[in-house]
Each structure stands twice: as structure tokens, then as C-alpha cells.
Structure 1
Amino acid sequence: MTFAPIAKSIAAGMAAVMMMTGSALAADVTLKLGHLANEENIWHKASLKFAEELKALTDGRIEVEVYPNESLGKEMDLINGMQLGTADMTITGESLQNWAPMASLLAVPYAYKSLEHMDAVAGGEIGDKIKAQIIEKAQVRPIAYFARGPRDLTSNRPIKTLDDLQGLKMRVPNVPLFVDVWKALGASPTPMAFSEVFTSLQNGTIDAQENPLALIKSANFNEVQKYVNKTEHVRSWIYLVISELTWNKLSEADQAAVMEAAKRTQAYERDLFLADEKQLVSELEEKGMTFVDVDRAAFAAKAKDAVLANVNDEIKPIVETLFASE
């Protein structure tokens, strides 16, 4: 009789230890998410939102540590780390074409006529094919996508038509596709490091450059450029991705939680993105820049052949379909 309470107490103690051990093991799932943006960038805010949502959905069992400013490594280093199992998550886009050629579809000049058109592609059948190839070839899994601000052309004279563009000396990144497209449009593009652009605009070496509004603002191009011509020549998106090695270690329930957190994060980021783009227009106008509407249909039609000449055979039929869509 005297042993029964003792046995019961031992059993209860063992159960408590097992529960504590199980809880400790479960709480030990920590995902490291590194990215290149700074703390003010909406990608960083979205990363924190993902961490918050996933922690809540798993009752604290999965923690996400967010590392901005390339503090966990540069983009390509992180992708390599995810393939080796030394990193868990990052935010990346067309860089994935180094493994998966279809990832180049994320940023094709004039392929997407509007944000809605881009959403239909990214969230539809083509987007599914892109993601499947990225998973297979790059061994990272896209779980959400974020729209990027379209690239616009800044200049000191308004550019509304192709005629206005003729002979315009402009800086472009050292990307053959970009160089060929602007040549086809009639401009005189010059590849140049981004760090040299402001001074080159200031001293008249070049007359124009092209970038998203956020970079136009942060680089203070308003001090050396009068117009933002709304060419919107490159619309693109970028993925929040998780390592396949990490993904396969998660239970089905935790995988479902990751996808739900990603879905909520995508919606949250989109709201931030739309508000940010609107705010950027206001701020650049306040700084003295004038926004100019451009004949984008004419620009796109003229750019088509140069785009198709620069994309590989695997994605060329898709790009032709995108150009043909209304």
C-alpha cells in the first residue's frame, strides 16, 4: 500500500519530464532568415511579420531569427548556404536563374503590363512552373512573393514618345538585356557602376538613368534630374524562400503553418508596398521632380525583338505569350 503513492508520484514525475523535454525540443526549432535590405525596408518589415505569424501559429515552437543588411551573408552566399544546410531562408529573385533558367522570367522588360498582369502570372500556372523548377534545380522553395517597384527613367527633359528618347545618353546596369533593349528604343545606353551615376549626371557625362522610385529617392537623383518618366519598363517580383533541407525536416503540420504565415506575410507586404509607392511619388514631387506619362505600348512593341533575342530558348515561348497578352 505504501508503494502505490510513490509509484504514482514517480510516474507523474516522468510524464512531466517527458512533456518538458518534448516541449524543449519543439521550441528548439530556430530558422535563420537573412536578407540584403536594411531595417527600414519593407522586406525587413515583412520578414519580421513572417517571424511573428509563424511563432503564433506554432505556439512558439518555431522561432525565426531575421538578419538584415547582409549580416548573415550576401544573397548568393545565402543561397549556397541553404543548399548545404547552413542557412534556412532568404529573399531572392532572378539571381536564381543561375540554377533555374525560368527564374529569369521574374524580371523581363515589358513582359508585364501592370501589377495585376504580373500578379496573374506570378500566382498562376507560369508562376507554378517557375517555382517547381526553382525547387528542383536550386533546392530552395518559394513560399511567398513580393512585388518590386517598377523601374522608371529619370531625365532632364520629358520623355513621352520614342522620338523623345532618340540619342539620350543614359546609364544602365551591366546587363546585356538592358543594354540591347535601350539601344532598340533609340537611346544611347552606357553600362556603369551605380556608385558613379550621381556624379556622371552632375557633370553631364550622362543625361538619364533608370531605377525604381525607392532608389531614385535614396540616391538623391532629384538633385540632378527633373523628370521621372513612367516607363515602368521592368516590373518584377522577388521570393521569400526556404531551404528544401529545412523544409523536409518540418512536420506536415509545421509546413502548413509556414505556408499560412507566408500567405499572411505576402498580403501584409503588399499593403506596405502600395502605400510606399504612393508615398515615394509624393516625396519626389515635393523634392521638385515631375512625373511624365509615357507611351508604354509603343515602347513595349519596339523593345520586343531585343527582349526575345536575349532570352533563352526555354522561356522564349512564354515571353512571347506575355507580350501578346492584353
Structure 2
Amino acid sequence: MKKYFTLLSLLLVVLFISSLSAQSTILIKATSPFPEGHIITQTMVEFKNIIEKETQGRIKFELSIAKDTEEQANERCSKGEVDMQFTGGRAIEVFAPQYFFINAPFVLKDYEHFFRIMKGPIGEKAKSEILKNGNMYTLGYLYRGYRQMTSNKPILGLKDLEGLKLRLPVVPTWIKVWETLGVKAVPVPLTGLYQALKDGTAEASEGDLTQISGYKLYEVQKYLIITNHLVSFGWVHMYKPTFDKLSKADQELFMKTAEKVCNTATMRLLASENDILRLLMENGMTVIYLDAKTMAQIRDKAKPAVEELFRTTWPVTTWEEVLKQ
């Protein structure tokens, strides 16, 4: 009988310890609208691997890759249906729209300009708005390349944009600027990009090289036109209640890891842009470089639309002040 009670006691202790272990395990659900191999998706996977290793599996991740649109990922993260999103600039557009010039065509000078803005008062206010209105912390952002154009016909200047069926994300401010240039906007979520080009719904697109290569647009587009019209970034957001439930040590780990993987991704992409360009050429795309005069003409035609947006939609600052940063 004594032996029986001893075994029973040991069993209860094991079950108790197992129960504590199960209760202490944290599951983080993270989503990205981008496909496997995209710089943003790579960053999400690296973040997961580091956190799981550092916590010895106490924190585990469940990843969703290319299942949500950017719109869905943003909405789900703000509602807590997922805990993190590794995505584009949708959160700024929805929850800090007056700061969306950070992610608009023809506004910023280069990627270093973006980082200066994000480290200054404009960037801090934008992140505060996302937190207040979207219930999400911004843990990091990474460079993902300048946005270019793809097309099935050569684009050599303004006249070639007239009437061009250009796939654009479902972003009203982008559509406004591009329509000023004469294109016929075809708003399609990112997940429908390839099919829209394949079936002819759109005959051209715009996006960074990682998007163009990640979605294999070389299979449905003949030309790559170098325009550098927007410096593109990926963002890491986390649902506030989930972050707040973490211990201080885990919060610090998440923030440090986000900074680390974003910096690594930025450096990796800067070093690999020529490789991506070469890959696209090897897969049959013809590259067209627009000269400075042509790009100046395009920017000049877009300028009134950008200036109007600063007056009506982004009134927290002026384009002139942004360019001074």
C-alpha cells in the first residue's frame, strides 16, 4: 500500500509539473501576405527561429504565409486574431493615414531618407497613431527595395503610360497619383497580382524587385522598367494585448530580435539587389532604364497630385518639410 501511494504521489508530481509547463508555453500566431522566399517572409521565419531558440521552445510560433491579403493581415492583427504581422504599409494607411506619405510614390528621396524620418518626430507620431488606432506596436521596419514597373510593352516615357492598365494595390492615394500620370488603375490585392497579369485584367504592374521575383512576374511580363518611384519597406507589427502579456524579459527579447532581423534583412537586400535583377534578366525580362530627363518629366506631372494630398490627406506636415529631413 505504501508503495502504491508513493507511485501515485510521483505520478501527481509529474502531472503537476507537466501542467505548469503546458501553461507556461506561449503560442504566437504570425502572418505575412507575401510568398515563401520574399524578404519579409524570410524575416518572419528568422524572427520565429530566434525567439524559439532563445526561449528553448517556451514561446512557439504558428506561421501563415501568403494566405492573407495585406488588408486581411492588418485587420486580423489589429483585432488579435493573429498576434503579429510581417507586411507592407497597410497599417499606416488605415491607422495613421495622415502619415501615409511615408509610403507613397514620388515622395521620399531614398531608403536613408525613410530611416531618418522614422527615427525622428514624424516617425514616432506615426507609430503612436498606429498604436492608438490599430492596437498594435510597431516593432521594426526593413528595406525591401525601390519600386519599379513591369509591362508587356516598352515604357519609355509619359506617352506610354497613357491608358496603360496598371495593377495597383487597393490604395486610394497611390491610385490618385498614378491616374494623374494617365494610367488606367486596376486595383487588385497582392494575392491576385499574378493572375491579373496572366489573364490580362492588367497589362502592367509596379513593385519592388523582391515582389517581382517572388511572384515570378517574369512568367507573365516582358519588360522591367527602372523608375525607383517609391522606396519600399516591410513592417513588423504586434497586437498590443499580446505584447503586454509578455514578461518584461520577453518584451525586450521581442524588440531586440525585431531590430536584429530587420537590420539583417536590410543589409541582405542591399547586397543582393543586383543578384535579383540578374535573376529577372536570366528569366527573360528586358530591362529599360529611364533617363534622368524622362523621370523628371514623370515626377513633374505627378507633383500636383502629391502636393494636393499633402494639403487634404497628409496635413500634419508639408512636402517641403519632409524633404528637409
For the criterion TM > 0.5, the same-fold answer is yes
1:197 corresponds to: 197
Letter in 1 for 2:65: P
1:229 touches 1:291 (CA, 8 Å); kept in 2?
yes
Change (3 A) 1:260 1:166: closer
1:98 corresponds to: 94
Deviations 1:119-166 (A, max 9, x none): 22233332211111101110011101122332213453352x65x657
- 1-side partners of 2:196 and 2:79: how far apart? 36
Deviation at 1:292, TM superposition (A): 0.5
* 1:139 pairs with one of 135, 138, 150: 135
When Rg is computed on C-alpha atoms for both structures, the one with the higher figure is 1
Question: Which range moves more in the overlay, 166-175 or 136-145?
Answer: 166-175
- 1-side partners of 2:134 and 2:187: how far apart? 30
Letter in 2 for 1:197: L
Change (3 A) 1:175 1:108: same
2:8 corresponds to: none
Aligned length: 304
- 2-side partners of 1:181 and 1:81: how far apart? 28
2:275 corresponds to: 279
1:225 corresponds to: 222
SS, match of residue 316 in structure 1: coil
Deviation at 1:39, TM superposition (A): 2.4
Change (3 A) 1:76 1:292: closer
- 2-side partners of 1:254 and 1:61: how far apart? 11
Deviations 1:174-222 (A, max 9, x none): 644334423434x443436543434549xxx95x543333444445447
* 1:251 pairs with one of 228, 234, 247: 247
Change (3 A) 1:232 1:23: same
SS, match of residue 317 in structure 2: helix
Structure 2: runs of 5+ lacking an equivalent: 1-10
- 2-side partners of 1:81 and 1:215: how far apart? 22
- 2-side partners of 1:285 and 1:210: how far apart? 17
TM superposition score normalised by structure 1: 0.77
TM superposition score normalised by structure 2: 0.77
1:111 touches 1:322 (CA, 8 Å); kept in 2?
no
> Counterparts of 1:302-321 in structure 2 under 5 Å?
302-310=301-309, 313=312, 315-321=314-320
Letter in 2 for 1:324: L
Change (3 A) 1:38 1:222: closer
1:79 touches 1:90 (CA, 8 Å); kept in 2?
yes
1:54 corresponds to: 51
> Counterparts of 1:67-146 in structure 2 under 5 Å?
67-70=64-67, 73-96=68-91, 97-102=93-98, 104-146=100-142
- After the TM superposition, list the runs of 4 or more consecutive aligned residues in structure 1 that deviate by more than 6 angstroms: 13-21
1:31 touches 1:65 (CA, 8 Å); kept in 2?
yes
Change (3 A) 1:105 1:16: farther
2:107 touches 2:306 (CA, 8 Å); kept in 1?
no
- 2-side partners of 1:37 and 1:166: how far apart? 27
2:274 matches 1:240: no
- RMSD between superposed Cα atoms in Å: 3.5
* Percentage identity across paired residues of the two chains: 22
Letter in 2 for 1:157: P
2:155 touches 2:161 (CA, 8 Å); kept in 1?
no
2:283 matches 1:294: no
1:29 touches 1:61 (CA, 8 Å); kept in 2?
yes
Change (3 A) 1:236 1:311: farther
- 2-side partners of 1:23 and 1:46: how far apart? 29
- 2-side partners of 1:297 and 1:317: how far apart? 27
